[in-house]
Structure 1
């Protein structure tokens, strides 16, 4: 037998390398042809899990100045200041059984339906703030039947222009005269105010207003008597406003005893309950006279502002009234406590012997007298000698 010839080892290695290189070249050539036949479509790849992918850099990211530290987290919200103004009972009309030449309706006719007449003396104050709120007491309607009561007040729907002309932006209807002409009268009052751009609220109707970018909730409550049920309804509305994202919650309450200068125990309990429930401010009306105020948990409770543009009496015995202002500072959802407040002494009339239905700012000795009267009432509340 013949022995099989053998190749030297280096030659074998060389031949193997040549064969491998030729096979690789053939494979690449075939792959390129396949890609060309498919139009050059990219190959889809399964993405890596999100946790392993690098985060995309933010677009147009602001860079700190040389030497400055990198910002951490979101920028802190900027503080916003806003001023709210509150006035008392606005009865725009009269009782039809007491219509005479000195009534509110007669004054409207005498002024040739000049809506600006009535709030002319305070319009500058109302116009300089961010939100003005009053108590709209009575119905603006030409429908409905008069309620069977001693006093039932009604004015024409166009009387709503008095509020808009005087820079009033909102009005509570939670009081004992808003339904003097039934549901029709109540609905017509809302429609009349809406037509003039005046936001109405009260009972289960909470008004939400955007004031300089701050969400403000206005809650209107009526207390025909001091009761836990009335208080619970009020605090439920405060909670609802907070749940809707309100940054400021204000409660306007109709409460207390008419013509009494001192508050009741029920007023104080309800007012404090409102603050405990999350209200930032409580203001009140109904007694037709000024009552005092207190600072509770860093929040103000102003118990009665008295009458204001009041068509319910041609010559009230006590014409003193108040405008209350508070400037709030809001940073995000935080509202500073005990912010700047202003109690402005006023009279419901420009005359002392009759009602001109044109409230005015008090000056000189009259202002000093009303200021002292208010402070004495506040001192009695602080001393616990009122309720």
Structure 2
């Protein structure tokens, strides 16, 4: 073979390699082109799952206390908060929630106050809703001290719901892949039994967990309430977690939906808003998104935000088309305040 043909042959090989690498990179990145594409409302459980894809759902804040708790106790129906979204939740391989109320014996039924608790029977609703993992790293889980934390974690584990946010990861096996979850709180004061968002500890935890799992998902309870743009502290924590090897960052606490961001090829949802809570006093606090995150063997490949609106102080439902457009437009605008070129 003369030099001319060798050169042509080598050039073709290089071109093929470049195309393959470009395709791999494209498949690795979340398909975030237009937020309008996320106004996806699923009404039926999908008949089957692709064995080569793995879907994780993360919701907004779940607070089974105050008016939520009083309603389900009065109705004697602990599935009630989940009834209009259960098909969406069960379309995923796993469901992650930020559980922001201890579940304790003899919880007093009330519609008022800032000391939260929920009836032990609320575990029925979590099971009905398909919850796989709950983070207890937040500023209300400690409202009844270590007894309340232990009551909650023991109840969850008894009902086969994995727990994180107490200094230990939750590890789920989905077919041939392992997903590790870590939860941290950065609101209020440090409390025994609740994992605090300290960067050095977070990075150490991620590093150690990466040795055991295929993907690491980190959940933060952070930011300022009733704001649509993340604080500098939120961004610092998110970026530090990605730098340490996290594959996906999910956030809650502001009670409003917030920005999304791409950082070093990884996705950050700063706040999913509310999911189950009694804050009926404004449109923003009644709204949230269910984040549906799809992975393949390489990493996160697709994201869907499913808007929801809370009715009756306790029950989220899929948003209408007009409501969805409004919620997603707000996420889009706040995302552009982080990056003017962002089109999440």
2:67 matched to 1:81? Answer: no
2:214 matched to 1:262? Answer: no
Tell me if the contact between 2:275 and 2:316 (Cα under 8 Å) persists in the aligned partners.
Answer: yes
Q: What secondary structure sits across from 1:80 in the alignment?
A: coil
Tell me if the contact between 1:158 and 1:192 (Cα under 8 Å) persists in the aligned partners.
Answer: no
* Structure 1 match to 2:214: 247
> Greater shift after overlay, 207-216 or 279-288?
207-216
The CA distance in 2 between the partners of 1:255 and 1:187, in whole Å, is 23
* Structure 2 match to 1:294: 261
- State which of 270, 282, 294 in structure 2 corresponds to 1:303: 270
Tell me if the contact between 2:277 and 2:313 (Cα under 8 Å) persists in the aligned partners.
Answer: no
Listed one character per residue, the Cα deviations across residues 350-378 of structure 1 (whole Å, up to 9, x for unaligned) are: xxxxx431111112211111111111111
Kindly name which structure, 1 or 2, has the bigger radius of gyration based on alpha carbons: 1
Q: What secondary structure sits across from 1:132 in the alignment?
A: strand
- Give the aligned CA root-mean-square deviation in angstroms: 2.4
- State which of 78, 82, 94 in structure 2 corresponds to 1:119: 82
Tell me if the contact between 1:283 and 1:301 (Cα under 8 Å) persists in the aligned partners.
Answer: yes
- State which of 85, 96, 103 in structure 2 corresponds to 1:140: 103
Q: CA deviation at 1:314?
A: 5.6
- State which of 321, 335, 342 in structure 2 corresponds to 1:364: 321
* Structure 2 match to 1:218: 181
* Structure 1 match to 2:333: 376
Q: What secondary structure sits across from 1:324 in the alignment?
A: strand
* Structure 1 match to 2:121: 158
The CA distance in 2 between the partners of 1:182 and 1:336, in whole Å, is 38
Moved over 6 A (4+): none
Q: CA deviation at 1:229?
A: 6.9
- State which of 280, 300, 306 in structure 2 corresponds to 1:344: 306
The CA distance in 1 between the partners of 2:237 and 2:330, in whole Å, is 24
- State which of 203, 206, 221 in structure 2 corresponds to 1:238: 206
Listed one character per residue, the Cα deviations across residues 98-118 of structure 1 (whole Å, up to 9, x for unaligned) are: xxxxx223311332x222221
Relative to the length of structure 2, the TM-score reads 0.77
Tell me if the contact between 2:60 and 2:273 (Cα under 8 Å) persists in the aligned partners.
Answer: yes
Q: CA deviation at 1:383?
A: 3.0
Listed one character per residue, the Cα deviations across residues 41-93 of structure 1 (whole Å, up to 9, x for unaligned) are: xxxxxxxxxxxxxxxxxxxxxxxxxxxxxxxxxxxxxx831010000111112
Structure 1, unpaired ranges of 5+: 1-78, 95-102, 350-354
Tell me if the contact between 1:172 and 1:200 (Cα under 8 Å) persists in the aligned partners.
Answer: yes
Higher relative contact order (CA 8 A, sep 6+): 2
2:163 matched to 1:200? Answer: yes
Structure 2, unpaired ranges of 5+: 1-50, 190-195
The CA distance in 1 between the partners of 2:221 and 2:178, in whole Å, is 24
The CA distance in 1 between the partners of 2:232 and 2:332, in whole Å, is 19
Q: What secondary structure sits across from 1:290 in the alignment?
A: coil
Q: CA deviation at 1:187?
A: 0.2
* Structure 1 match to 2:133: 170
The CA distance in 2 between the partners of 1:175 and 1:381, in whole Å, is 25
Q: CA deviation at 1:143?
A: 6.8
Tell me if the contact between 1:345 and 1:370 (Cα under 8 Å) persists in the aligned partners.
Answer: yes
2:71 matched to 1:107? Answer: yes
Tell me if the contact between 2:181 and 2:219 (Cα under 8 Å) persists in the aligned partners.
Answer: yes
* Structure 2 match to 1:72: none
The CA distance in 1 between the partners of 2:234 and 2:115, in whole Å, is 25
Tell me if the contact between 1:193 and 1:199 (Cα under 8 Å) persists in the aligned partners.
Answer: yes
